[in-house]
Amino acid sequence: MNYYKLIKNELIDNEINKRVKDYSKNKYELEKYYNVGKLLSEAGKHYGEGIIKEYSAKLKQDIDKKYSVRYLFDIRKLYVFLKVHPMGAQLTMSHYRLLFSIKNKEEVNYYIDQVSKKCLSKRQLEMLIKSHAYERLPKSTKQKLINKEETKLPDLVPNPIMIRNKNNYEIISEKILMKIIMENIPSFLKELGSGFTFIDNEYKIKVGNNYNYIDLLLFNIEYNCYVVIELKVTGLKKEHIGQIQVYMNYIDNKLKKYYQDKTIGIIVTKKDNKFIMEYCSDPRILNREYEII
């Protein structure tokens, strides 16, 4: 079998397609690379690993200089990779090359799903991987993803939450923590997960004759609910639960419409406290640590 001729024809077809079609380019290219990867794998078994170097020299001359030895090895890796993992919408060869080194199948599938749902660029996926987004998901969430169970908003908020200290504040009080978040609110919303929108900080409410201030009031479009966030630079204390519960009930009574889901509360603390959370009877309240980076 003339493996080189078959590989060359597949790659030429792909190059022509990229110039002519504007739709399904990624999928078409990946399908071609899958076929080429399979041929490279079979050629390697017949002629040894050195055949890739020989093919690379010919392809760079016949088609394009980008078909280096390393690139052909990556195309072969893609073939092996796609036999195990799905071909996700929106993913390109550049996305998949970032995923090759990840050994955990469920972690890979999580990142493929994130790219497909959020149309992440290669750079955005790279940042997501570097932030250890999958590793920071709760164990219960990972199990739900494995079992393909429905996930809700509290399942997908990472722990810890990474907060960027762009101006390098040294002493972190609650006011400074708020300032850091507000200086880069888009980054903080993305860190929380999908669909979060900002409403206000220090949101003023009146409980009886007293005024209180909610640190952050958000809304999640995907889950159709308000989200109350309280910031604490200490560990979680039992009184924090009572405080946020009052705020959540207030939002449910005063702002929430009948077609919206109940408010979620997130207490962001320096240190979480699983013992206190064990006795919290409201599943809408979650405690997450923060980490300043």
Q: How far apart are CA 287 and CA 98, in angstroms?
A: 32
Architecture field, domain 151-292: 3-Layer(aba) Sandwich (3.40)
pLDDT at res. 86: 80
* pLDDT tens sequence across 85-130: 888 878 999 999 999 999 999 999 999 999 988 889 999 999 999 9
**pLDDT over threshold 80, residue 23:** no
Q: Which residues of the chain are in CATH 3.40.1350.10 domains?
A: 151-292
Averaged pLDDT, 63-82:
93
* pLDDT tens sequence across 142-175: 999 999 899 999 899 999 999 999 889 988 999 9
Query: Is the separation of the CB atoms in 283 and 263 below 8 Å?
Result: no
What are phi and psi for residue 144, nearest 5 degrees? -65, -40
Amino acid 164 reads: R
Q: Tell me the β-bridge partners of 235.
A: 271
Query: Is the separation of the CB atoms in 230 and 211 below 8 Å?
Result: no
pLDDT at res. 57: 93
* pLDDT tens sequence across 202-258: 999 998 899 999 999 999 999 999 999 999 999 999 999 999 999 999 999 999 999
Q: What is the CA radius of gyration of the chain?
A: 25
How long is the chain? 293
The DSSP 8-state label assigned to residue 209 in this structure reads T
Helix (H) or strand (E) holding 198: strand 196-207
What are phi and psi for residue 202, nearest 5 degrees? 50, 50
Provide the mean pLDDT of the chain: 91
Sequence-separated contacts (24+) of 252-261 with Cβ below 8 Å: 252/226, 254/205, 255/226, 256/225, 256/226, 259/224, 260/224, 260/225, 260/226, 261/223, 261/224, 261/225
pTM recorded for the entire structure: 0.82
